[in-house]
Amino acid sequence: MTETTTTTTPTAEQALETYHERRELSVVQPKGSLALVNTQWIDSEQTIWGVPGVWAPAPDGASGLLLTASAGDGIRVDGELVDGSVVVRGKDDPAPSEIVFSDTVTGFVIASEAGSYALRVWDANSEGIQEFGAIDAYPYNPDWVITAAWSEIPGGRTVGFEHLKDDGATRDQVVPGSITFTKDGVDYDLAAFKSGRALQLVFADATSGVSTYSVGRFLFLAPNSDGTITLDFNRAVLPPCAFSYNFNCPLPPKQNRFAVPVEAGEKNVLKKDGTLLHE
């Protein structure tokens, strides 16, 4: 006799619970959002808080930073113990360098649009990871699953996005299409920029700074083949800067600021005692 195995499609609530569990696991990984302990931009020869070595801009034309250290510092770049000076390639290089400072502390070099470089330091045993309790989130809310119209813009259009630590300066991002819908009698035209293979919507709403993280939240999207795009705000996530002050997150542009509360998605990062990790 042949046994028949049946599979049950999870409900929207069950799928969201699984998604939420995976999110909580992701932020405590060795390079998860809670592990970032420093981002330091290098424009001259200097030391960096929390790690050994002397760091300086790389020679002209080279990607990354110039590290000078002795064998006693125990720094390994791409698996090799540093004893002298070595160029640590940045993330803009086809083969970026990996840095190991200790059993728990690692790093890599990031690049700015202006061509400057910073060292990012990650600690798998950071204070944030030790204090982390949970990501507080709203229960599933079907009212905030929206099918919007997606209209591609040939060549895209450029929108300036402010960032948390840029003192009001904007960074141009390509918005490849228009996201439009009407909800409760209000028309919306949202701007989402390209983020890898997805679109990234940075938004704020009437809950921001009240019951959710003050800076705003992210929602990652992909257009459907039928000319629509699904906005499931139950999958809205906190930006990395909600977990570590060492991230510099984009801020919502005016058109992505809802006057109404979006009571769906992640709310805040909580410590083990239930208090806020960051406000």
Domain membership of residue 24 (yes or no) is no
Q: Are residues 232 and 178 in the same domain?
A: yes
Predicted confidence at residue 247, as pLDDT, reads: 95
Domain membership of residue 4 (yes or no) is no
When divided into structural domains, the chain yields a total of: 2
Domain membership of residue 59 (yes or no) is yes
Domain membership of residue 13 (yes or no) is no
| Residue where a domain stops, chosen among 83, 104, 123 | 123
Q: Are residues 145 and 241 in the same domain?
A: yes
Is the torsion defined by CA of 125, 130, 133, 136 positive or negative? negative
Q: Are residues 255 and 156 in the same domain?
A: yes
Residue 7 has pLDDT above 80, yes or no: no
| Residue where a domain stops, chosen among 103, 123, 143 | 123
Which of 229, 195, 196, 214 is closest to 268 using CA atoms? 214
Domain membership of residue 28 (yes or no) is no
Q: How far is residue 251's CA from residue 248's CA, in Å, rounded to a whole number?
A: 9
Domain membership of residue 278 (yes or no) is no
Q: Are residues 69 and 102 in the same domain?
A: yes
Please give the single-letter amino acid code of residue 221. L
Q: Are residues 140 and 247 in the same domain?
A: yes
- Planar angle of CA 137, 138, 143, nearest 5 degrees: 140
Domain membership of residue 159 (yes or no) is yes
> pLDDT of 103-154, one tens digit each?
999 999 999 988 899 999 999 999 999 999 999 999 999 999 999 999 999 9
Domain membership of residue 11 (yes or no) is no
pLDDT above 90: percentage of residues in the chain: 85
Q: Are residues 236 and 147 in the same domain?
A: yes
- What are residue 58's DSSP bridge partners? none
> pLDDT of 61-87, one tens digit each?
789 999 999 999 999 999 999 999 999
Q: Are residues 138 and 262 in the same domain?
A: yes
Residue 3 has pLDDT above 70, yes or no: no
Radius of gyration of the CA atoms of the chain, in A:
22
Average pLDDT over every residue of 28-46:
97
Residue 89 corresponds to which tokens in the numbers above? Answer: 């390639």
Q: Are residues 181 and 243 in the same domain?
A: yes
> pTM for the whole thing?
0.92
Predicted confidence at residue 196, as pLDDT, reads: 87
Specify burial of residue 229 (Cβ count, 10 A radius: 0-12, 13-18, 19+): buried
DSSP 242-259: GT-TT--PBPPPGGGB-S
| Residue where a domain stops, chosen among 123, 150, 182 | 123
DSSP 47-98: EETTEEEEEEEPSTT-SSEEEEE-GGG--EETTEE--EEEEE-BTTSSS---
**Could you list the residue range(s) of the whole structural domain that residue 103 is in?**
33-123
